[in-house]
Chain A
Amino acid sequence: MTMQWKLVCKQSDLVKGAGVAAMVNGQQVALFYVPEAESQIFAISNWDPFGKANVLSRGLVAHLQGEWTVASPLYKQHFVLSSGKCLEDDVTIPSWQAKLEGENVYIAES
């Protein structure tokens, strides 16, 4: 199966070292732009399953024990940006592959 890439926004819409929210196929996605990370762009769900609100794009990016994560702004649980896995609890939120090509930001439609 070939991967379908969907253009989401421009690089200039992103904030270096932090997240922004996007709407992709009716779903809220949190896009993080981390220039120091190998893949540079990460996409996870914007929904915080603990706080029950769409806020993860507004959390702080934290690098913990070698993993890029975001700390939820509500109750501070960490989610791994590449996998959506929660570090504090047995929960995984949706995540997507994402890439930066030239000026364009894409995420993979699964």
Chain B
Amino acid sequence: MSANSPLSTKKPRLVVVGNGMVGHHFVEQIIEKGGHENFHITVFGEEPHLAYDRVHLSEYFTGKGAADLAMTDGTLYDDNGVQYFTNSLVTEIDRDNKQLLLQSGDSVSYDKLVLATGSYPFVPPIPGHKRDNTFVYRTLEDLDDIRDCAKQVSKGTVVGGGLLGLEAANALKNLGLETSVVEFAPRLMPVQLDEKGGSVLKEMIEGLDVTVYTDTATQEIVDGESSFHRMNFADGTHLETDLILFSAGIRPQDALAKQSGLEMGERGGITINNNCQTSDENVYAIGECALWNNSIYGLVAPGYTMAKAAAGHLLGDESISFTGADMSTKLKLLGCDVGSIGDAHAKSQGCKVFVYQDEIQQSYRKMVVSEDGQKLLGAVLVGDNSFYDTLLQYYLNAMDLPEQPQSLILPAMDGAPAALGADALPATASICSCHNVTKQDISDAVANGAMSVGDVKGITKAATGCGGCAALLKNVVDNELLSLGVEVSTDICEHFAFTRQDLYNIIKIEEIKSFAELLEKHGKGHGCEICKPAVGSILASVWNEYVLKKEHIVLQDTNDRFLGNMQKDGTYSIVPRIPGGEITPEKLIVLGEVAKEYKLYTKITGGQRIDLFGATLPQLPEIWTKLVNAGFETGQAYGKSLRTVKSCVGSTWCRFGVDDSMTMAVDLENRYKGLRSPHKIKFAVSGCTRECAEAQSKDIGVIATEGGWNLYVCGNGGMKPRHGDLFATDLDRETLIKYIDRVLMFYTKTADRLQRTSVWMDGLEGGLEYLQEVVIEDKLGMCSELDAAMDYVVDTFQCEWKTTLEDPEALKTFRQFVNYDGEDENVVFVEERDQIRPATEEEKQNLIAKVG
């Protein structure tokens, strides 16, 4: 191989062993600092792939391919003269001769050596652990094997209930297996959680149909009776399962160090100093194989810092060193929020503890504070990570706790919100731990002209690792912009110094149920025609209460207050829902009869339904009584909500149809009909690519394909037409609905007042790709929240007209006059093409003249 052949270069040779996340980051760092000019760099990796994103490995099961996870396709290496070899295991280091030996038999000399060999999964030596259908969870190949096996079997078990074990359990569940977790310790995630936290988590996970065995030791694995394996436990019980996945911890991959006599820790790991040098000054170790101050760091962020430190040191820059790292973690396991900060187990001398537990919402929070109550030493969160960012900043920056520290873990009550404002953070506060970006770095970027979160991301790389810091980053950037006097006024109106999105979050998090309550806590004055309907709409999106409930009535614009669209003369139009445009002759006749009885102007709308115009205020309840009795529901033509789902006839009738667009349209319309949103939403479903329903011009467009359904999002007709973006292809029905749920809820949560999805998408940082990440890959970890929010809206649907007709108080407001039974004499109709229409001013004058 060519690595072996002497090269015509006088540059010293730098060899990197291991091309995982940290080894790759090291190469990036060296190149960024120009080190490829100083060294001839060679990289050896044992795996068949170049470095890939192991942190997001599980996404390999949820739609990402190896190419998506890849951290480089080799271009960076090629362009900068870095030689790399995959499938190349280094088996020996000969430190005396500065030579490496490869499994292939080749040898390579080095001047400087970097070991980035990571770790390997520990498999407890239980008799039977090498049987077929047993796996570990570390590499793409492991996942390929697991997937192949899962296709054949029905039950899977994970040995180990730690962080990785639960992630693996989630994967097994997603592969359709009946899943169990067996943990030796008395609780789940013993490292990060205390006893109570572990037991709350256990309950939540069991609620998701994963069986959890804690305090359970596996003695042997033998042939099963009903399944492939039988696991015999120490207490005499057993479990039958087809597939076993070991996730009982990781061990540093330090075989080369041992072989070559480098100094090591008692329990493994290659000892390093602050420059990441091992006991041999020419050999560095970084990442999970390295042992610093007797600690191994099993997270990627500390590894990146080590990579930076080692690269700096090699190039004579000692300003960066590795001096330990914080191991706080926040994650979502099987959809459950878990967070652990610092001294989670309250082991510090004299420390005091605050605990909050809510057995109804299933959440548990603990704060460990110093003896004097001044500093936060640690925390445990299960069930709700919205408290994490603030706690972490108090902890990392050793900030003085507020007077009532417990407010940091209590559900928001009256008074100031406990969350820490960005301006309260010190300049040294670490905002993004993956890329080691401090608040100061962000201030600098903004001072140098970065004007948005996107700009700052580009410059500092903040929020481009695990993404966990995205919300905090936005706060800090906004705060910096503000302090520079850049007007980011996104205030909704003079009464609320918030954006619609802020208000949405406040209403949701503080469980605010009325406009008055919101105004009292967060607004000023008495509200106006901007904030009232906006808040009315948010309250409806979040709590889905009856819009004409007493306290909401004054928030509704005329159309929403009277559940009809006001026309130019003060009369209303009536639009019953006709899902998908499909209507029986009987119902068509009812519409005709009602229109005839009340002499209403009748028209087919552009949205495939029927509009009846010219009803006066007192006629609305009468007419709707007839319609509701005939089985109609409100079409919400007045609301900022789902309008119509247009459809073509589809495969049922059409000779080209590939799927049943009609059923899909009706189902979608019925699912989303209750959703109140920032602006109106329109759907269409076409049965094939001929696209007769014009789905690509709708907020949500669905087109049947041979392989399922294609989903288009954020199209618009109207004033500024926009074609929808192709969001995902060949979806099955369930996934389609899941994605639509999330797109709509994310839109409802984050869009501005009266912003259609098209405009929202155009303003969305990261655009379509970002939306895909949020919805498909759960980048923000909020999918379960979105799912739950939509389920709630769907489950609590009520036809507003039906509710109104049952409410005498609400009906009272449909009187034309409170003290007089007559009609509005200014409402005058004339006939045209055999139907009524409002008279013009001139016609009115003439008519009055005639009568008078």
Interface residues of A (CB under 8 A from B): 8-9, 13-18, 20-24, 28, 31, 36, 47, 51-55, 58-65, 68, 71, 73-74, 76
The residues of A that contact B495 with a CB separation of less than 8 Å are 63
The segment from B171-179, B308-316, B368-376, B557-565 that touches chain A is B557-565
Residues of A within 8 Å of B818, CB to CB, are: 8-9, 13-14, 20-22, 31
Counting CB contacts under 8 A, is B792 at the interface? no
**Distance A23 CA – B816 CA, assembled complex (angstroms):** 10
How close is B388's CB to chain A, nearest CB, in angstroms? 38
Q: Is A16's CB under 8 angstroms from B570's CB?
A: no
Q: In the complex, which residues of chain A have a beta carbon less than 8 angstroms from the beta carbon of B569?
A: 53
B653 interfacial contact with A, CB 8 Å: no
B533 at the interface (CB under 8 A from A): yes
Q: Does B813 contact A (CB under 8 A)?
A: yes
B568 at the interface (CB under 8 A from A): yes
Question: Is B824 on the interface with A (CB-CB < 8 A)?
Answer: yes
Q: A15-B554, A20-B818, A60-B532 are in contact. List 5 more A-B contacts (CB 8 A).
A: A15-B813, A28-B817, A36-B526, A65-B494, A73-B557
Inter-chain contact B553/A18, CB cutoff 8 Å: yes
Q: Which among A8, A16, A62, A74 is the interface contact of B568 at CB below 8 angstroms?
A: A74
Question: For the complex, is B106 an interface residue (Cβ under 8 Å from A)?
Answer: no
CA distance A31 to B818 in the complex (A): 10
Listed in ascending order, the chain B residues whose CB lies under 8 Å from chain A are 494-495, 525-530, 532-533, 550, 553-554, 556-559, 561-562, 566, 568-570, 812-813, 815-820, 822, 824, 826, 841
Interface of B is mostly: loop
Q: How far is the CA of A84 from the CA of B826 in the complex (A)?
A: 21
Pick from B554, B819, B841: contact of A17, CB under 8 Å? B554
- Contacts A15-B554, A60-B529 given; indicate if A54 touches B819 (C-beta within 8 A): no
Contact of A52 among B553, B813, B841 (CB under 8 A): B841
Q: With a CB–CB cut-off of 8 A, which chain B residues contact A36?
A: 526
Q: B529 and A62: CB pair below 8 A? A: yes
A51–B559 Cα gap in the complex (Å)?
16
- Which residues does chain B contribute within 8 Å of A64, judged by CB atoms? 494, 528
Whether B526 lies near A53 (C-beta < 8 A) is: no
Q: Are B525 and A13 in contact (CB under 8 A)?
A: no
Residue of A whose beta carbon sits closest to that of B525:
A63
On chain A, the residues within 8 Å of B550 by CB distance are: 16
In the complex, the answer to whether B529 meets A28 with C-beta atoms within 8 Å is no
CA A55 to CA B526, docked complex, whole Å = 22
Q: Which chain B positions have C-beta within 8 A of A9?
A: 818-819
Contact A62 B819 (CB under 8 A): no
Which residues of A are found within 8 Å of B554, using beta-carbon distances?
Answer: 15-18, 60-61
A21 adjacent to B525 (CB under 8 Å)? no
Asked if residues B529 and A71 are in contact (CB atoms below 8 Å), the reply is: yes
Most buried by A among B529, B557, B569, B818: B818
Given contacts A20-B818, A21-B816, A21-B817, contact A62 B570 (CB under 8 A): no
Q: Is the CB of A73 within 8 A of B816?
A: no
How far, in whole Å, are A47 and B819 apart by their CA atoms in the complex? Answer: 17
On chain A, the residues within 8 Å of B559 by CB distance are 73
The answer to whether A60 and B824 have CB atoms under 8 Å apart is no
- How many angstroms from the CA of A12 to the CA of B553 in the assembled complex? 15
Bound: A23/B817 CA distance, A = 6
Nearest residue in B to A55 (C-beta to C-beta)? B570
Q: Within 8 Å CB of B820, what residues of A? A: 22-23
Chain B nearest CB: distance from A14 CB in Å? 8
Q: Which of A8, A51, A53, A60 contacts B533 (CB 8 A)?
A: A60
CB atoms of B558 and A28 under 8 A apart: no
Residues of A within 8 A of B824 (CB): 28, 54
Interface contact A22-B568, CB-CB below 8 Å: no
Do the beta carbons of B494 and A23 come within 8 Å of each other? no
* Structural contact, B570 and A54, CB atoms closer than 8 A: yes
Docked pose: A51 CA to B569 CA in angstroms: 8
Of A17, A18, A22, which is in contact with the most chain B CB atoms at under 10 Å from its CB? A17
Instruction: Please state if B819 and A23 are interface contacts (CB–CB under 8 Å).
Output: yes
What 9 A-B pairs have minimum CB-CB distances, sorted nearest first? A17-B554, A62-B528, A63-B526, A73-B558, A23-B820, A71-B529, A53-B570, A13-B818, A60-B529
A51 with B817, Cβ < 8 A, contacts A58-B561, A64-B528, A65-B494 known: no
Q: Which of A14, A20, A23, A60 contacts B822 (CB 8 A)?
A: A23
- Is there contact, CB below 8 Å, between B529 and A58? no
Bound complex: CA A96 to CA B495 (Å): 28
Q: Which residue of B lies closest to A18 (CB)?
A: B554
Closest B residue, CB atoms, query A52: B841
Q: Closest CB of chain A to B520's CB: distance in Å?
A: 12
**Would B568 and A51 count as touching, CB distance under 8 A?**
yes
B493 CB to nearest chain A CB (Å): 9
Q: What chain B residues lie within 8 Å of A15 (beta carbons)?
A: 553-554, 813
Q: Which residues of A contact B562 (CB under 8 A)?
A: 58
Would A8 and B819 be within 8 Å (CB), given that A18-B553, A53-B568 are in contact?
yes
Residue of B554, B562, B568, B819 with most chain A CB atoms under a 10 A cut-off: B819
CB neighbours (8 Å) of B566 from chain A are: 55, 58, 73-74
Q: What are 19 residue pairs bridging A and B, where the CB atoms are less than 8 Å apart in the complex?
A: A9-B819, A17-B554, A22-B817, A28-B817, A28-B824, A31-B818, A47-B826, A51-B568, A53-B570, A53-B826, A58-B558, A58-B570, A60-B529, A60-B532, A60-B556, A61-B554, A64-B494, A71-B528, A73-B566
